[in-house]
Every structure is written in structure tokens, then in C-alpha cells.
Chains A and B, each alone.
Chain A
Amino acid sequence: MKRGFALLETIVVITFLSVSLLLLYGTFSNMISNSKRNLLYDDASNIYKVYYIKEYLGLDNFKVNGDIEEIDCDGLVSGCNKLLDSFEVENMYITYYDLKNYDSDLYSSSFNNYVDSLSNKGDYNYRLIVEFSDSSYASIGLVGGNYE
């Protein structure tokens, strides 16, 4: 009868340990990539930029067609382009505050990820979402106004 452990047993144990470590690494790298992605969302400076956009462009009274409407400077105040350039704005959207079912294929994956991360707590009807040139996003709720 052979006593002690064989080379095969050592290899089995090492393989088991390696698989466990790989699984752990996979979980942690997922968590790290999620936290990196969240760094791009709702930065303090960007939230104030969105606030100034809303106030200056008078978006509380903007008439919205559909669940999501992408908006540009057409028909808005004359300094709109100057403001959006200064803030390095890429795209602006007004959406329902409690946005659940929309055609996500029409929008970029970064936009869809951001919408997924949003909380719907709050007494707002609509939401102004702004995408900046560094792919970061920020949004604020819109209250009042003449919505359609």
C-alpha cells in the first residue's frame, strides 16, 4: 500500500485552487469594471452643468413627443450652441422620469446602461439626460411645465 500523497493528487489540488482563484478573479474584475463605469455617471460638476442647461434653455416647459426625445438647439435661445460647446455636450435627451419600456436598439449601449442605472424615486414627470464628450452622463428631474 502506498502512503503519503502522489504527484497526481498534488496536481488535482493545484488545479482546484487555480479554478477557484480564476472564478474569484472573474467576480472581482466584474465589480471593478462596474465601479469604473459608475464613475462616468452623475459627476457633481456635470449635474450643475445639466442644471444650468435646464435653466438657460428653459427646458421645464419643453414639449416632449414620445418616451424619449433627443433635443438640439433648433428653436431654442440664441446662446444655446455656445453653452453646449462650453459644457462639451454631445447629446441631450428628455425622457419620461419612470422610463421602463423603450426601444433600446435605437440608442447607444452607453445610454441604455445609464438609463438602467437610474433610480425612479422622486416626484418628477420627466428627466433631462445629458451625454458629454467624454462619454459621461448626468441627469436631473424636471417638474412642472406644459408637457404633451
Chain B
Amino acid sequence: MNKRGVTILELLISISLISVVILLLLKLIFSLDNINNSKEYASEDEIARTTIIKNIESDFLKLKLMGVRVKSLDKKVIITFNYLDRAKDLIIEEKSLSYDNQEYKLNSVNATYNLCPSFSYKELDKDYYLVNLNIEVLIDGKSNTKRDDIDLFYVDLISDNVSYPRDLECSK
């Protein structure tokens, strides 16, 4: 047989097969691009979260936390940490946290901080107490995994000089 070139059928089948492969590849590339963008924001937020926790917990231990005051405003919550010889504010807004003159923005598109943080004070025994401040990260306004929350703890000796709220009241 002395057939030259391709038949129209072969050409059509080849083009359709290659189109399917290209379509699948394009779909994969777009989904990878989306994943990459969201992962980039998530990893920036994770770095910010780790820095905030480290800075605040270091201050708790170095400056010795003596009390906490919470003030709830319209679109922000100001938590004042009273240390032995100074006080520092943690300002919570929907898309950012500020502590010690540094602002940490939340980059993930659907994520916001819960403007009603939870706080607990409990006595572990007759000598020691434990306080916990939890600032929740909401995804699309709903509670998500606890892993993204700013979860702060402090354990110290009970004394008359410390002052913590027993529970928090905040305007939602």
C-alpha cells in the first residue's frame, strides 16, 4: 500500500486525544496555581502565628505576667497584659493582630480573627494557677480547626498581686 500522510480519521482521533490531555493538564495547572496561592497565604499566616505566640509567651515568662484586662470596642478587642513593671496591649481586629508595636496581618482570604476571645483562669492546686487565652481563627465566619488559633497559656504561683478576669464579656 502506498498511502501518504494521515487519513482524516487518524487526524481527528489524534487531535481529540491530544485535546483531552491538554485539557486535563490545563485543569491540573490551574488547580496547582490555586493551591499554591492559598498555601502561600497559609504559610505566611503560620509564620505570623508562630511569631506572635513566641513573642507573647516570652514576655509572659521574662516580664512575669501579673494580670489581664480585656476591653471590647466596636470592631476591635484590646487585651492588656499587666507585667511586673509595665503593660503591653494586644489589639485584635478582624484581619490583624498588633502586639508590642508590630502588626501581624491575616493574609488568607476567608480567614478572620474571632473578636470574642475565650479566657479561662483555674487553680491547679493550692499554690499554682493556669490561665489560657484563645483567639480563634474563623474560616468564612465559622469555627475551624484549632490548629490555626492563637492559644496562649501561663502557669505561675497564686498571689494576692495577680488579677485576672473570671470570664470575658464581649460584644459580638
Give the interface of A toward B (CB within 8 A): 1-7, 10-11, 14, 17-18, 21, 39, 43-45, 48-49, 52, 55-56, 77-79, 82-83, 86-87, 134, 136
Contacts and interface: CB of A to CB of B under 8 A. Distances in A.
Q: Which of A77, A79, A83 has the most chain B CB within a 10 Å cutoff?
A: A79
B146 A86 contact: no
Contacts of B14: 5, 7, 10
Contact of A82 (B4, B5, B50, B124): B124
Interface size class of B (residues with CB under 8 A): 20 to 34
Contacts of B146: 134
A21 B29 CA distance: 12
B13 A3 contact: no
Q: Which of B4, B14, B122, B146 has the most chain A CB within a 10 Å cutoff?
A: B14
Main secondary structure of the interface of B (DSSP, over half): mixed
Contacts of A56: 124, 128, 155
A39 B2 contact: no
B111 to A, nearest CB: 16
Interface of B: 1-6, 10, 13-14, 17-18, 21, 25, 49-50, 53-54, 57, 122-125, 128, 130, 132, 146-147, 149-155
A67 to B, nearest CB: 29
B5 A3 contact: yes
Contact of A86 (B2, B17, B25, B132): B132
Given A39-B147, A45-B53, A52-B155, A7 B13 contact: yes
B11 to A, nearest CB: 9
26 contacts: A2-B3, A3-B5, A4-B5, A4-B6, A5-B14, A7-B10, A7-B13, A10-B17, A10-B18, A43-B147, A44-B54, A45-B53, A45-B153, A48-B53, A49-B153, A52-B153, A52-B155, A56-B124, A78-B125, A79-B125, A79-B128, A82-B124, A86-B122, A86-B130, A134-B146, A136-B147
